[in-house]
Structure 1
Amino acid sequence: MDNSSSPIFKLIISVTLAVLLAACNGGGSGGSTASASGSDSQSTSGRGLILNITDAPVDDADIAEVWVRFTEVIVHPADGSDDIIHSVEDATDPNNILPYREIELKSLVGGKTMLLGEIPLDAGDYSWIRLVIDPDNTRIVETSGADYLMECPSCTQSGFKLNREFTIETTGWIDFTIDFDLRKSLTLRRPNKSRTDFDYIVRPTLRILDTELASSFIHGLVEDQHSELNPDVCWVYVYEGGAEIITPDDICLDSDTSICPQTDRPLLEAQVQLDTDTGNYVYNTGLIYPGLYTAALVCEADDPDVDDDLLFIEEAEVQADAVADGAQQDFTLIEIRILTLLKTLDDNADDNADEDASDTVTVGDTLTYRMELGNEGNVSLTNVTVSDPLIGLSELSCDTALPATLATDTTLECTATYSVQSEDLSIVNTATASADSTDPVNSSVTVDVENSAPSITSTPITEATVGVLYSYDVEATDPNAADELTFSLITAPADMTIDPSTGLIDWTPAAGDVGENATEVMVEDQDALSATQAFSITVN
């Protein structure tokens, strides 16, 4: 990438930060913990502001380096007087002093810092700090060697403004450290396509700390006790507060609470890395304020744009005191086996007669059940199987032969069908799934069988003779075997009767009944669902 022909313009970055300081006026005479390369030098008799840069790591394996070129720091006096503009220089080579300081952020993890600048200031109150960068030289370098400019949508609008009030005393320096959390700040516009400039988008998520007060850190070992678990993908999430009030949750940055509900989000994340000197997997949070924290080990991807459901392997309450060795909290990669089962009724199956997709079905419907088995643990599950004891259920058809091996974050599905019988009132059936070294899990589905109307199946007798007993035994059926049927006459000649239980009609026609006699009989069940039969009896 050659930007030598592009005009170098200054991009002023303004982002409101959540300032995590113990006091609003973070004065003090503590020196910088950063390496002081460059033209700035701290005078013991002077006063002003020291700014250091640190970073939380990014877990994109394609990113080798993240370069940001700083050109100025602007400080705003609280009394509204003119801003103080401090040019950032790099005097590593005294014979070639550069009018900027270029910092590679990925090298500043695990508590490492680099000096951005020492800014002499008069005694007084100040209300904010603003950083100025050169966007033509703020870029990503991938492991392939290719480098690309980063896009910052907010940079050309409000910029990055560090709203942090502070006071400069008559003597002494205030020392701040700015934490660029790249894991939260960087996204890739087109992750599955070849890269171009501005495909990487920077959405700065920063912390600003009083370096003197941020006098602690949390660190430790992560022991790997199983070859299937990979510590290289693990992180330790750190939350402000003890275990009694903290329920660890994922990174989720969207301000829309329908996307990112208000829960316990991590203050910072420390990557688990292999210490090549000791052969151990370790982590280090970098600078934090002394206090009570909750640390949680997680070993899966976390998309900051969505509310992920993460599996936290271990959690621990950590008291981080202001001591040189920090607070040590070790973790162990524990095998967690979680077999899940979800059984559902597929209302949209082609052979399902329940076309209204309701929770009720009728006799004769063919129901299709789906059983989804999942592995939400962190190791593979073996000898996975599922059974369903419902009498009349078809043989299970699964997309993987059972017993199966189920890798982490994968599922398998089985289906079976059942034809609703006349004796079914409510169908309750429970599937059971099992795997090696796990407890069986159950999932049930209940469907109510909708009552259906009866029907009259007999053929009426339509002729009778005066003075001779007429009989017609009305016959009816009901799809629901348990229904009780009642017979009655809706329209009938005088003196005609019907047995309400059996449906037997008796009638002796008189001389006045000669001719046609309209008759209608009804049968109904206990839910008043009914059927009728109308006919005419000719009396001779």
Structure 2
Amino acid sequence: MMGNFTRWVGLGIATAGLVACGGGGSGGSDSGGTGQMSLAVTDAPVDSASRVVVRFTHIELQPSDGERIRIDLGEDEEVREIDLLTLQGEDSEFLFEDEEVPAGEYAWLRFHLEESEEVVDFPGSQGGIATTSFIEFMDGNEDRLIIPGGNQAGLQLSGGFSVPEDGEVSFTVDFDLRKAIVEDSRDGFHRMRRSLRLVDNDAVGAITGTVDPTLFPDDFTCEEREEGLHACPGAAVYVFEGLDREPRDLRDDDDDAVTTANVQYRHIEETGDWEYRYTAGFLEAGEYTVALTFEAGEDDPEEETPIEFVDQANAEVEAGETTEVNF
């Protein structure tokens, strides 16, 4: 990790160093004014992986009325390397902070990853490029990540956002890896689909809670990941917008879960106890349905793969607050 590593703890933001801004042009505001923008990343996790290392080169911002803006992320033309699996729940890392950009409306933002020097042919309508980013599995094997369609389109988040004139705004992008990472037909590669969610940090809260051990299937096992933490592949909580929703598998449509959270077996230092706990962070204020499954590892976001949910509950999230929902 680089020296300007930042995490959210209890929804409080720590400070970090600035990064350089390259490129740029006229703004997205008729007044020609500017504002300050900060951008962090977080992760809704994926099963079976021990690391998902993404190597960012730069970000592009597209004003609704103005020239495209480029923000370089690495120092001295180096890349910015982040293991997204370290950023679960309420944890995040800033890619840049307090960057001065034109005020106004923006159509999209786009992440660019470092391309592999090796030439790899990906035929077909989507095509793709190999990157130096990779996914590492529990058994130690690694696959490189492909961006479908090539690096020109990058990993684009199409939803718009705005930057206030003479004001500040702070966003977090959720890389929902359970939806984004899918196995490719070519050996040695996984595809990284464009499954990104942008939230305003001033308007989000979190849902956390425990899972009763008696709910786990008799043959279910967890694996020690590090001291005080065991991963439980397949055990996850899905979060859906609205109350009393009927939970379902991921299918890459408007009825999908907003985010998901892995259930982990954790040692709680304050009490000395062990408990099965999950945390879903960066949720906009509102009403949600949370549902528990032990079959998340079987969920394929590219096709209908019904999975069983063993329990569900309603939750209301307030900005800056953490809501407790136990199963």
TM-score (norm 1): 0.46
Q: Indicate if the aligned counterparts of 1:52 and 1:113 stay in contact, CA closer than 8 A.
A: yes
Of the three residues 258, 262, 275, the one matched with 1:267 is 258
Of the three residues 292, 295, 300, the one matched with 1:303 is 300
Q: Give the Cα–Cα distance (whole angstroms) in 2 for the partners of residues 287 and 75 of structure 1.
A: 22
Q: What do residues 321-374 of structure 1 show as CA deviations (whole Å, max 9, x unaligned)?
A: 2343x111100xxxxxxxxxxxxxxxxxxxxxxxxxxxxxxxxxxxxxxxxxxx
Q: Give the Cα–Cα distance (whole angstroms) in 2 for the partners of residues 83 and 306 of structure 1.
A: 35
Q: What do residues 40-63 of structure 1 show as CA deviations (whole Å, max 9, x unaligned)?
A: 69xxxx832211000011102xx2
Residues 1:150 and 1:165: Cα distance change in structure 2 (over 3 Å): closer
Gaps spanning 5+ residues in structure 1: where? 1-30, 91-96, 256-261, 332-540
Task: Indicate the SS of the match to 2:85.
Answer: helix
Q: Give the Cα–Cα distance (whole angstroms) in 2 for the partners of residues 32 and 138 of structure 1.
A: 29
Q: Indicate if the aligned counterparts of 2:147 and 2:155 stay in contact, CA closer than 8 A.
A: no
Of the three residues 277, 280, 291, the one matched with 2:286 is 291
Task: Indicate the SS of the match to 1:212.
Answer: helix
Q: What do residues 405-460 of structure 1 show as CA deviations (whole Å, max 9, x unaligned)?
A: xxxxxxxxxxxxxxxxxxxxxxxxxxxxxxxxxxxxxxxxxxxxxxxxxxxxxxxx
Q: Indicate if the aligned counterparts of 2:147 and 2:154 stay in contact, CA closer than 8 A.
A: no
Say whether residues 1:218 and 2:218 are aligned partners. no
Gaps spanning 5+ residues in structure 2: where? 1-10, 22-33, 117-131, 223-231
Task: Indicate the SS of the match to 2:178.
Answer: helix
Q: Indicate if the aligned counterparts of 1:181 and 1:204 stay in contact, CA closer than 8 A.
A: no
Q: CA RMSD in A?
A: 2.7
Q: Give the Cα–Cα distance (whole angstroms) in 2 for the partners of residues 227 and 297 of structure 1.
A: 12
Residues 1:201 and 1:157: Cα distance change in structure 2 (over 3 Å): same
Q: What do residues 226-266 of structure 1 show as CA deviations (whole Å, max 9, x unaligned)?
A: 671637231111110011xx21111123x7xxxxxx8x431
Residues 1:242 and 1:35: Cα distance change in structure 2 (over 3 Å): same
Q: Indicate if the aligned counterparts of 2:237 and 2:292 stay in contact, CA closer than 8 A.
A: yes
Which one-letter code corresponds to 1:308 in the other structure? T
Residue 89 of structure 2 corresponds to 110
Task: Indicate the SS of the match to 1:200.
Answer: strand
Residues 1:248 and 1:106: Cα distance change in structure 2 (over 3 Å): same
Structure 2 counterparts to residues 431-442 of structure 1, below 5 A: none
Q: Indicate if the aligned counterparts of 2:202 and 2:320 stay in contact, CA closer than 8 A.
A: no
Task: Indicate the SS of the match to 1:252.
Answer: coil
Number of residue equivalences: 271
Structure 2 counterparts to residues 69-148 of structure 1, below 5 A: 69-79=55-65, 81-90=66-75, 97=76, 99-118=78-97, 119-136=99-116, 137-148=132-143
Q: What do residues 186-208 of structure 1 show as CA deviations (whole Å, max 9, x unaligned)?
A: 11236xxxx953x2122131111
Residue identity over aligned pairs, in percent, reads: 30
Higher relative contact order (CA 8 A, sep 6+): 2
Task: Indicate the SS of the match to 2:257.
Answer: coil
Q: Give the Cα–Cα distance (whole angstroms) in 2 for the partners of residues 179 and 328 of structure 1.
A: 21
Residue 250 of structure 1 corresponds to 249
Which one-letter code corresponds to 2:308 in the other structure? L
TM-score (norm 2): 0.74
Task: Indicate the SS of the match to 1:272.
Answer: strand
Richer in strand (by share)? 2
Residues 1:186 and 1:252: Cα distance change in structure 2 (over 3 Å): same
Residue 52 of structure 2 corresponds to 66
Q: Return the offset for 1:130.
A: 2.1
Residues 1:120 and 1:99: Cα distance change in structure 2 (over 3 Å): farther
Q: Indicate if the aligned counterparts of 1:151 and 1:200 stay in contact, CA closer than 8 A.
A: yes
Residue 468 of structure 1 corresponds to none
Q: Indicate if the aligned counterparts of 2:37 and 2:100 stay in contact, CA closer than 8 A.
A: yes
Residue 160 of structure 1 corresponds to 155
Q: Give the Cα–Cα distance (whole angstroms) in 1 for the partners of residues 217 and 154 of structure 2.
A: 47
Residue 127 of structure 2 corresponds to none
Residue 318 of structure 1 corresponds to 315
